[in-house]
Amino acid sequence: QVQLRESGGGFVQAGDSLRLSCAASGRTYSGYAMAWFRQDIGKEREFVAAINWSDGTTYYSDSVKGRFTISRDNAENTVYLLMNNLKPEDTAVYYCAADRRRTGSYYYTSKYDYWGQGTQVTVSS
């Protein structure tokens, strides 16, 4: 079983930056992708960014492209999300996710098998 732990959330002002981390522990990870999703109160969980674990190919939602950067550390089974120029609409609980199969779309929650418990990001104007 893979356990995911997010960290790095906080309360910031618009225009600030945060770097989220997600560490995978337990059995050695052997999946194909890790991703970040976010969910605000009363809204559906939405895709933010994903990375192919093997080759580093990245995917972003239109709302964060150019502002957020996802990266990985294969040796540590850790994925990062650098969030620049944060906006109030970025406020949400950010969740880390990991899969165990190559199938499925990076953009949908159904692809992923492991989830962290989330870290809160609040951006004030």
Return the SS3 of 109. helix
Contact 2, 55 (CB under 8 A): no
Local structure of residue 125 (DSSP, 8 states): -
Please check the confidence at residue 27 and state whether its pLDDT lies above 80: no
List CB contacts of 77: < 8 A, sequence separation 6 or more.
Answer: 23, 24, 25, 28, 29
Q: Give dist(CA 52, CA 31) in Å, integer.
A: 9
Give the closest residue to 100 by CA, choosing from 117, 115, 87, 90.
Answer: 115
Q: What is the pLDDT of residues 101-119, one digit of tens each?
A: 888 999 999 999 999 999 9
Q: State pLDDT tens for residues 37-74.
A: 999 999 999 999 999 988 899 999 999 999 999 999 87
* Cα–Cα distance measured from residue 49 to residue 63, given in angstroms and rounded to the nearest whole number: 10
CA 100 to chain centre: 16
Radius of gyration for the chain, computed over Cα atoms and rounded to the nearest angstrom = 13
Residue 124, burial from CB neighbour count under 10 angstroms (0-12, 13-18, 19+): exposed
> What average pLDDT does the structure give for the chain?
94
